[in-house]
C-alpha cells in the first residue's frame, strides 16, 4: 500500500462523499490531514475527523467558504501552524453542479457561481497553499467526466468549469515542475454519491451503469485510492495528467 507516513495533506470539501473518502484514505496511508467542509452544502467534520483520528493520525478541520479568499488564506495559515510542518499534498475537491439548467434557463449570476465554485475555488486554495508546499509535493484536482464530454442535460456551466479545471491542471503542472511539485487531475464518471442522488434521476443512473463495461457505478473510495496514488512518490513521473475513473464508459 502507498506509504504517506509523516506527510501532511490538505483536502478541500472533505465533509462528505469523495472529499471525505480522500481525506480518510490519505490518513489510512499515514498522512495527517487538514480539511475544509461546508454545512450549507451538506458537509460536516465529525465523521471525517473521527475516522482520521481512529487511524492514529491528526485531523484539523474548519468550516470555510471556498470562495472567500481571506477565509481560505486564514485556514491555510492556521492549518500549517497546527501541523507544525510544510504541506506535502493538496487536493482540490470543492465543486458542484448546483442545478441542472439549460443555457436558455440560466442567468449570468448562475453561470458565474458555477464557474467560481468549480474553478475559482481551486485557484484560490492553490494560490494560498503554494507558499507552504514543500519541494516534491503533489497537487490533485478533482475534475469530472463532464469536463471530457460536457456532462448530461443541464450541465453546460459545470462541464465548462470542469474542462477548464483540467486545463488549469496541465498549465500548473508545467509552471510548478521546476519546483518538483507535481499537479494531476482525476476525472470521475458516475460515482455513487449524494451528487447523483441530488442531480441525476434513478433511471438515468441505472441506464448509465448498465452501459458501463463494468456494469456498475463507482465508489468514492475507489476515487480516493487513485488520488492517494497520484499524491505519492509511486507516481513520481506522473505530471499534468487528467486520469479517468469511470469504469470504461469513456476513453480519452
Give me the active site residues, please.
Answer: 158
Q: Which residues contact 152 (CB under 8 A, 6 or more apart)?
A: 100, 146, 200, 204
CA distance from start to end of the chain: 27
Q: CA torsion angle for 143, 147, 152, 153 (degrees, to 10)?
A: 110
Which residues sit opposite 101 in a β-bridge?
155
What letter does residue 250 receive in the DSSP assignment?
-
d(CA 88, CA 60): 15
Amino acid at each position: 500500500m502507498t506509504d504517506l507516513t509523516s506527510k501532511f495533506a490538505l483536502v478541500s470539501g472533505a465533509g462528505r462523499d469523495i472529499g471525505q473518502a480522500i481525506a480518510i484514505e490519505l490518513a489510512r496511508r499515514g498522512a495527517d490531514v487538514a480539511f475544509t467542509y461546508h454545512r450549507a452544502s451538506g458537509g460536516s467534520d465529525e465523521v471525517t475527523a473521527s475516522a482520521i483520528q481512529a487511524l492514529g493520525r491528526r485531523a484539523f478541520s474548519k468550516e470555510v467558504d471556498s470562495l472567500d479568499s481571506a477565509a481560505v488564506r486564514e485556514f491555510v495559515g492556521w492549518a500549517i501552524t497546527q501541523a507544525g510542518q510544510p504541506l506535502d499534498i493538496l487536493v482540490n475537491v470543492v465543486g458542484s453542479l448546483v442545478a441542472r439548467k439549460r443555457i436558455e434557463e440560466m442567468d449570468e449570476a448562475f453561470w458565474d457561481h458555477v464557474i467560481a465554485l468549480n474553478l475559482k475555488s481551486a485557484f484560490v486554495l492553490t494560490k494560498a497553499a503554494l507558499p507552504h508546499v514543500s519541494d516534491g509535493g503533489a497537487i490533485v484536482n478533482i475534475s469530472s467526466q463532464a469536463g471530457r464530454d460536457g456532462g448530461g442535460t443541464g450541465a453546460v456551466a459545470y462541464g465548462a468549469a470542469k474542462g477548464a479545471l483540467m486545463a488549469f491542471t496541465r498549465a500548473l503542472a508545467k509552471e510548478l515542475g521546476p519546483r518538483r511539485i507535481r499537479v494531476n487531475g482525476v476525472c470521475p464518471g458516475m460515482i455513487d454519491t449524494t451528487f447523483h442522488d441530488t442531480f441525476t434521476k434513478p433511471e438515468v443512473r441505472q441506464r448509465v451503469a448498465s452501459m458501463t463495461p463494468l456494469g456498475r457505478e463507482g465508489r468514492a473510495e475507489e476515487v480516493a485510492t487513485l488520488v492517494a496514488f497520484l499524491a505519492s512518490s509511486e507516481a513520481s513521473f506522473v505530471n499534468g495528467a487528467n486520469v479517468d475513473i469511470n469504469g470504461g464508459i469513456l476513453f480519452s
